[in-house]
Structure 1
Amino acid sequence: MFGPGDVRFFDRLAPLYDLVMPGADPEVLADALDVATGPVRRVIDVGGGSGRASAALPAGLDADAPVVVDASAGMLARARDRGFGAVRGDAARLPVHSNAVDAAVIVDALHHFPDVSGALEDLHRTIRPGGVVVIREFDPSHPLGRVLARGEQAIGMDSTFVTPDDLRSVLAAAGFETTVPDRGFMYTVVGRVPDSESASR
């Protein structure tokens, strides 16, 4: 899921991560999940680390959800401490059955994925028709985004940031219908699996 250097960084940072990082925005996530057709009960938090995004998801999900999927054992231990299901895995080969979830969230993590296209293609497999992937990322064309990108490179991370429009293109190539609810230093892109795919799955 993450490059080897990124995984080692997050393993070391895990005990302090929740103390230094702000929480995810519950309103933004709730609005983005509303793009789904039908109820959203089963959610995976991909690259979810300590469960920061999972903690911001709306009430009403299944008892076993959300489940955090991440490559860092240290971060997953924190997610388990917070009461979330936690599975170590690769975003491009998710340990999830096809059509098994209503939604996936990726918050402040996509830029760490070595294979973004592969991850989005596998998410398309795992999300039911009408379900969504909600991605919150930093825009490298924004002045603060450029600073962040340089900073992560300076500390040895293998980060690759993409603009909202470039992310829409990658999502569309993976088979998603896309929308951009908000733009800025941190932006949101939602990809929905078309309802019409239900007959072919």
Structure 2
Amino acid sequence: MRWDVRAFDLFAPVYDSFMPPTDGVALRKALAVADREVDRVLDVGGGSGRVAGETGATVVDPARGMLRRARRRGLESVQASATDLPHPDGSVDAVVVVDAFHHFPAGQRCLSEMARVLAPGGVLVITDFDRGTRLGWALDRAERLVGFDSTFYTVSELESAIGSAGFEVKPIEYGFETTVAGVKPPADR
């Protein structure tokens, strides 16, 4: 088990006390770019469910401690890694990843897996910290100092990775905390 997952098991009881609230406006803007109705949502790397509570999403996370917190909130949750989602092909309308993508091992593989479970016209929403900003650079260094195996991206790297996974890239909001969406094109394109 990766240190990141063990650490989040340990941090689970106090996690929500230290994390800022989610930018609900950016999240709603990103979900709105979907080319289909958004009913079935996965919050991958969703931890305690702080985002899933706003979207009605199913929380997917490898850390049992975080999932216990999500279940206490009354949220549906599944223990799994972003590299191997236990959902059928094309079974969800949206996948959101908030403040977690930098913790995912094999980012491109995770993007391909999220594309697999999205239905055509569905949307992937990633909100994460931009390594290209001063604060992003500092956060990258700080997480390495505490032993996390994080991979932070610049905005252009994130957009390129999302595009390489077959999504139509839709920039939503730039800054230290960046939101980029990707729409899965129809199968005939």
Same fold judged by TM-score > 0.5? yes
Partner of residue 38, structure 1: 36
Q: How far did residue 108 of structure 1 move?
A: 0.3
Share of identical aligned residues, percent? 46
Mapped partners of 2:156, 2:58: distance in 1: 28
Map 1:53-132 onto structure 2 (within 5 A). Answer: 53-57=51-55, 65-132=56-123
Q: How far did residue 10 of structure 1 move?
A: 0.4
What SS is found at the alignment partner of 1:158? coil
Q: How far did residue 4 of structure 1 move?
A: 0.7
Partner of residue 8, structure 2: 10
What SS is found at the alignment partner of 1:160? coil
Q: How far did residue 183 of structure 1 move?
A: 0.8
Q: How far did residue 177 of structure 1 move?
A: 0.6
Mapped partners of 1:55, 1:66: distance in 2: 7
Map 1:12-31 onto structure 2 (within 5 A). Answer: 12-31=10-29
Mapped partners of 2:164, 2:108: distance in 1: 8
Q: What is the identity, as a one-letter code, of the residue corresponding to 1:179?
A: K
> Does the aligned pair in 2 maintain the 1:29–1:56 contact within 8 Å?
no
Mapped partners of 1:148, 1:30: distance in 2: 26
> Does the aligned pair in 2 maintain the 1:25–1:56 contact within 8 Å?
no
Q: What is the identity, as a one-letter code, of the residue corresponding to 1:39?
A: E
Partner of residue 46, structure 2: 48
For structure 1, list consecutive stretches of 5 or more residues without a partner in the other structure.
58-64
What SS is found at the alignment partner of 1:135? strand
What SS is found at the alignment partner of 1:128? strand
- The list of structure 1 runs, each at least 4 consecutive aligned residues, that deviate by more than 3 angstroms after superposition, is none
Mapped partners of 1:56, 1:154: distance in 2: 32
Q: How far did residue 55 of structure 1 move?
A: 2.0
Partner of residue 143, structure 2: 152
Question: TM-score, normalised to structure 2's length?
Answer: 0.96
Mapped partners of 1:42, 1:115: distance in 2: 25
Deviations 1:104-142 (Å, cap 9, x if unpaired)? 000000000111111100111100100000000101110
Mapped partners of 1:96, 1:107: distance in 2: 19
> Does the aligned pair in 1 maintain the 2:132–2:155 contact within 8 Å?
no
Match of 1:135 among 116, 126, 130: 126
Q: What is the identity, as a one-letter code, of the residue corresponding to 1:185?
A: F
Q: How far did residue 56 of structure 1 move?
A: 2.7
For structure 2, list consecutive stretches of 5 or more residues without a partner in the other structure.
none
Mapped partners of 2:118, 2:156: distance in 1: 22
Deviations 1:28-55 (Å, cap 9, x if unpaired)? 1111000001210000000000011112
Mapped partners of 1:86, 1:43: distance in 2: 12
